[in-house]
């Protein structure tokens, strides 16, 4: 069993821009082969000249931010350019002169590699270096130090494929060794003792000859991050990601995902405490084909009797529905007027129906956004509204169910093109 010692490196002077940090640390500490030197990022930043004038800390945070993860009041959790998700992008206004802020090292892994090379040259020892900063953590109160830069250390210990003491194969366990060492070192560094460097001794097996991938290996890829956004940010991103998809892969759609989307759909607002939505899930390929063939025949019959509608024009118009045929799953949202009020005049009766139509649209929007959150593309096509009797007949729907289009669902065959930013100008009038 490894026995670890965590030793403070005392006596470091105040660090300023241009100082040789490795020389300062080497003079103050005693080192052995296999030691891990843990350095608070603040002194790395000071030595690298990352103390900048900034009367507006928020502007400095903006400059360091790549993406806002979550915001509540004046608190922002953001992703910085190194992929670190943290409060205020790591911009620090504590223990700095008035009107200045301290930024994180521009490239913490590069800083760790540079510092390691210099320390090994000065001490003649085989060392690893961690650059650390203080993070909050989801679901846990309190702060702890984590590694934001690393050199010469296996930052992750992969236990997958090994067996525990009961013979069970480990399938998920990957230990963040670098973060564990950063937290341990902070116990002797502390925030108020003025000791920004510590040495962890006793883990020489984790110290490597090469610099290694650095702390960048600790950053979870976006595709694997199930908690990438805060609540309001996730809603906004899902709304933005909800794009009309017209080409799908053959991958089957998870019926459970669609049902979760329907559960979101039926939370939409509706008049008179009603539930004016019904969702027909067309999961059978045979039923989809029967429905689309019947709809196409109905469209052709209707259009063929109209002046100016040539066979070519009819073919162009009905081809728009091919997006439904190419999807592996269809949802037919229907409007029901159960609970609506009766009025003797046509104007009020029409307005009553409009309220229910708006509620149905809100339900469909919820459905589309929830499907985007599940990773599915969709296209809301109006076709069924033009042949409702045909749709009701094929799907055996009650007479009071009015199909409100059809939603094609599936995995997008290709990424949607980037959406140009759209401001609210032109869509808002203030009175």
Which CATH number belongs to the domain containing residue 351 in this structure? Answer: 3.40.109.10
Q: Is the dihedral of CA 263, 265, 270, 276 positive or negative?
A: negative
What does DSSP say about strands 157-158 and 174-175: parallel, antiparallel, or unpaired? antiparallel
Q: Going by DSSP bridges, is the β-strand pair 128-137/36-40 parallel, antiparallel, or unpaired? A: parallel
β-partners of residue 408 are 330, 379
Q: What's the confidence (pLDDT) of residue 170?
A: 63
Whether residue 154 is contained in a domain is answered as yes
Residue 96 belongs to a domain = no
Q: Could you tell me the pTM of the whole model?
A: 0.67
Together in a domain, 216 and 236: no
CA dihedral 206, 212, 215, 216 (to 10 degrees): -150
Q: How many Cβ atoms sit within 10 Å of the Cβ of residue 121?
A: 11
> What's residue 191's pLDDT?
62
Same domain membership, residue 135 and residue 42 = yes
431 assigned to some structural domain: no
Q: Is 3 exposed, middle or buried (0-12, 13-18, 19+ CB in 10 A)?
A: exposed
Could you tell me if 183 and 267 lie in one domain? no
Among candidates 152, 145, 154, which has minimal Cα distance to 123?
A: 152
Residues 204 and 254 in one domain: no
* Whether residues 268 and 305 fall in one domain: yes
Please check whether residue 390 lies inside any domain of the structure: yes
CB 71 within 8 A of CB 235: no
What does the pLDDT read at residue 166?
Answer: 67
Whether 356 and 276 have beta carbons less than 8 Å apart is answered as yes
Euclidean distance between the first and final Cα of the chain, in Å? Answer: 73
Do 38 and 152 lie in a common domain? yes
Cα dihedral 135, 138, 143, 149 sign: negative
Distance CA 56, CA 40 (A): 25
Domain membership of residue 173 as a residue range: 5-50+104-224
**Sequence-distant contacts of 81-88: CB under 8 A, at least 24 apart:** 82/107, 82/108, 82/148, 82/216, 82/219, 83/216, 83/219, 84/133, 84/148, 84/219, 86/133, 86/135, 86/136, 87/135, 87/136, 88/57, 88/61
Helix axes of 255-265 and 346-373: crossing angle, nearest 10 degrees? 140
Domain harbouring 11, CATH code: 3.30.1330.100
Residue 273 in domain: yes
Question: Is 164 domain-assigned?
Answer: yes
Q: What is the DSSP secondary-structure string of 97-137?
A: -TTEEEPPPSSHHHHHHHHHHHHHHHH-S--EEEEEEEEEE
At 265, list the tokens.
């759909």
> Which pLDDT value is given to residue 270?
94
Q: What is the pLDDT along the chain (431 residues), one digit of tens a residue?
A: 568 999 999 999 999 999 999 999 999 999 999 999 999 999 999 999 999 888 788 888 999 999 888 888 788 889 998 999 999 999 988 778 888 999 999 999 999 999 999 999 999 999 999 999 999 888 889 999 999 999 999 999 876 667 677 677 666 678 899 999 999 999 998 665 679 999 999 999 999 999 999 999 999 888 788 777 776 776 777 777 778 888 999 999 999 999 999 999 999 999 999 999 999 999 999 999 999 999 989 888 888 878 878 888 878 877 777 899 999 999 999 999 999 999 999 999 999 999 999 999 999 999 999 998 888 999 999 989 999 999 999 999 999 999 999 999 999 999 877 777 788 888 999 99
Q: Do 41 and 181 belong together in one domain?
A: yes
**Number of folded domains in the chain?**
2
| Non-local CB neighbours of 94 within 8 Å, separated by 6+ positions | none
Q: Are residues 276 and 403 in the same domain?
A: yes
- Same domain, yes or no, for 176 and 266? no
Give exposure, 320-339, as e/b (b: 16+ Cβ within 10 Å). ebebbeebbbbbbbbbbeee
Note whether residue 29 is domain-resident: yes
Between CA 97 and CA 120 the distance in angstroms is 33
In contact, 153 and 207? CB cutoff 8 Å: yes
User: What is the model's pLDDT at position 419?
Assistant: 76
């Amino acid at each position: 069993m490894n026995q670890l010692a965590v030793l403070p490196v005392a006596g470091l002077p105040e660090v300023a821009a241009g100082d040789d940090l490795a020389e300062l640390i080497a003079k103050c500490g005693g080192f052995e082969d296999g030691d891990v030197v843990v350095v608070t990022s603040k002194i790395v930043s000071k030595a690298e000249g990352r103390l900048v004038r900034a009367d507006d800390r928020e502007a400095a945070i903006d400059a360091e931010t790549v993406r806002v993860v979550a915001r509540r009041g004046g608190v922002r959790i953001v992703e910085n350019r190194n992929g670190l998700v943290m409060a205020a992008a790591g911009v620090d206004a504590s223990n700095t002169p008035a009107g200045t802020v301290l930024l994180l090292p521009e490239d913490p892994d590069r800083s760790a590699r540079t510092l390691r090379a210099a320390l090994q040259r000065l001490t003649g020892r085989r060392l690893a270096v961690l650059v650390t900063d203080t993070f909050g953590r989801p679901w846990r109160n309190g702060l702890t130090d984590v590694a934001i830069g690393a050199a010469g250390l296996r930052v992750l210990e992969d236990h997958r494929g090994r067996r525990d003491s009961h013979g069970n194969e480990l399938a998920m366990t990957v230990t963040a060794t670098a973060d564990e060492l950063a937290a341990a070192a902070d116990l002797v560094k502390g925030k108020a003792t003025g000791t920004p460097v510590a040495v962890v001794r006793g883990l020489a097996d984790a110290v490597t000859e090469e610099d290694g991938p650095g702390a960048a290996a600790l950053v979870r890829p976006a595709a694997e991050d199930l908690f990438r956004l805060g609540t309001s940010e996730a809603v906004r991103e899902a709304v933005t990601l909800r794009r009309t998809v017209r080409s799908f892969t053959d991958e089957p759609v998870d019926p459970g995902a669609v049902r979760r989307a329907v559960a979101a759909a039926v939370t939409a607002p509706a008049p008179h405490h009603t539930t004016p939505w019904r969702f027909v899930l067309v999961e059978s390929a045979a039923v989809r084909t029967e429905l689309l063939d019947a709809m196409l025949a109905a469209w052709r019959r209707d259009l063929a009797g109209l002046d100016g509608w040539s066979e070519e024009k009819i073919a162009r118009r009905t081809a728009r529905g091919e997006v439904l045929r190419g999807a592996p799953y269809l949802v037919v949202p229907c409007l029901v007027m159960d609970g609506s009020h009766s009025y003797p005049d046509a104007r009020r009766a029409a307005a009553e129906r409009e309220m229910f139509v708006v509620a149905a649209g809100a339900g469909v929007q919820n459905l589309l956004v929830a499907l985007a959150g599940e990773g599915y593309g969709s296209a809301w096509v109006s076709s069924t509204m033009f042949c409702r009797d045909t749709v009701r007949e094929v799907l055996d729907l009650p007479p009071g169910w009015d199909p409100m289009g059809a939603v094609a669902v599936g995995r997008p065959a290709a990424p949607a093109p980037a959406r140009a930013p759209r401001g609210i100008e032109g869509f808002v009038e203030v009175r």
